[in-house]
Amino acid sequence: MNSVDYDIVIIGGGIQGVGVAQAAAAAGYRVLLLEKQAIASATSSRSSKLIHGGLRYLETAQFGLVRKALRERAILLHIAPDLVRPIVFHIPVYKNSSRKSWQIRLGLSLYALLGGLTPLTRFKHFSRAEYLLCDGLQTDELSALYRYWDAQTDDVALTRAVMHSALELGAKLRCPAEVISACHADNIYQLRYRDKNGEKQLSCHAVVNASGPWVNAVLKKIAPQSSRLAVDLVQGAHVLLDAPAPSAIYYVEAPTDKRAVLIMPWQGKTLVGTTETRFQGQLDMIRPTEEEIRYLQAVYRYYFPHRGTNIIDAFAGVRVLPKAEGRFSNRPRDTLLHMSSPGLLSLYGGKLTGYRATAEQVISHLRSCLPKRKAKANTAKLKLYLPSD
């Protein structure tokens, strides 16, 4: 057993991968993370920058996901106060909105209940006199306006902080380093990877495939071949507009298809997102389409008609959703953990907010494949920060 190099090797340096690295190191395991580009270089740098419970998931009865996300939001606000901060959300309701005022009130009441009725779960119904104070929001046909709270983060900074915590706990990082192949025999994985110094080989008890939209491509490199889940890759685009940052996040409906869109303050400007477009291109060439950019500009222009829509930046990430019929917005959003062979666990999808809870589930699933180790820390209590240098 001493001849095995690592207990766990993790493939992928997004928020899910670094979360598993932190949880594994906190549990006392010998951990190596392999990332082919840079920490948070793909989907984890192209999110909506939110730590939230997922209010809209109540419509599809994902109550367990919402409860878990609200619990994780509370933990992150406590352990990462410099990285995760509360922020106000506004929900405007118009006469032609698909969700009526009573439905919004009911949803916010349930959201507060699932969040434990804490101060951060309180919401408010604005009076008509307060409508005009809302950043130049379109007030024609506005019938109600609600306020509630969630949280915002810098997704890249949070991911790097979690990786820093993992390294402090003893995890190792190879970056850039790309997996070439892996082979499972006699309960050990022999894994080959390439870094700047050429090809290397190592052995480990377990492999965690946290490679995001590359999840099935990575599984194809591992012998013997094992089962893969059928998924849809869905692109979500954001645009950063040269418009003053709003005082709150506006949770609105796109006027054309009634999809939920967020209008957010970010770096002193206005961030608008996201879209849901089937992705069929090259994963190393992910960019917003012109149609997505026009769609998001039109949503912003509809709700803030007196503001400009000049583009400062545009970016897109790819979600992994279970394959199914119907709208992407109705698909389950929680992470799927797929143990396709002994000691090989793949993560499909997942939310930024729930990374820590997901990582703890991963360790629980793998424990029977791993040697006994003495735990070092509890990730729910470890403070997250970026080193000053």
Three-state SS sequence of 23-38: HHHHCCCCEEEECCCC
Residue 155 CA to residue 353 CA, distance in Å, equals 10
pLDDT at 316: 95
Residue 36 CA to residue 334 CA, distance in Å, equals 25
Residue 12 CA to residue 348 CA, distance in Å, equals 12
pLDDT at residue 219 tops 80: yes
Per-residue pLDDT, averaged over 156-185, amounts to 97
CA distances from 106 to 53, 89, 101, 110 (A): 16, 16, 9, 6
| Confidence bin at 1 (pLDDT 50/70/90) | very low
Nearest to 39 by CA among 13, 18, 15, 17: 13
Q: What is the pLDDT of residues 322-358, one digit of tens each?
A: 888 878 887 878 899 999 999 999 999 989 999 999 9
Domains observed in the chain: 6-44+156-229+332-369 (3.50.50.60), 86-150+231-329 (3.30.9.10)
CA angle 277, 283, 285 (to 5 degrees): 90
| Confidence bin at 131 (pLDDT 50/70/90) | low
pLDDT at 331: 83
pLDDT at 343: 95
State the residue for tokens 């997004």: 14
pLDDT at 50: 97
Per-residue pLDDT, averaged over 215-235, amounts to 94
pLDDT at 389: 65
DSSP string, 85-138: EEEEEEEEEETT-SS-HHHHHHHHHHHHHHTTS-GGG--EEPPGGGGGGSTT--
Write out the two tokens for 181. Answer: 């192949």
Q: Which residues contact 25 (CB under 8 A, 6 or more apart)?
A: 31, 166, 169, 170, 171, 376
Strands 222-223 and 178-185: parallel
Nearest to 11 by CA among 211, 157, 182: 211
- DSSP H or E run through 342: none
Total number of residues shown for the chain? 389
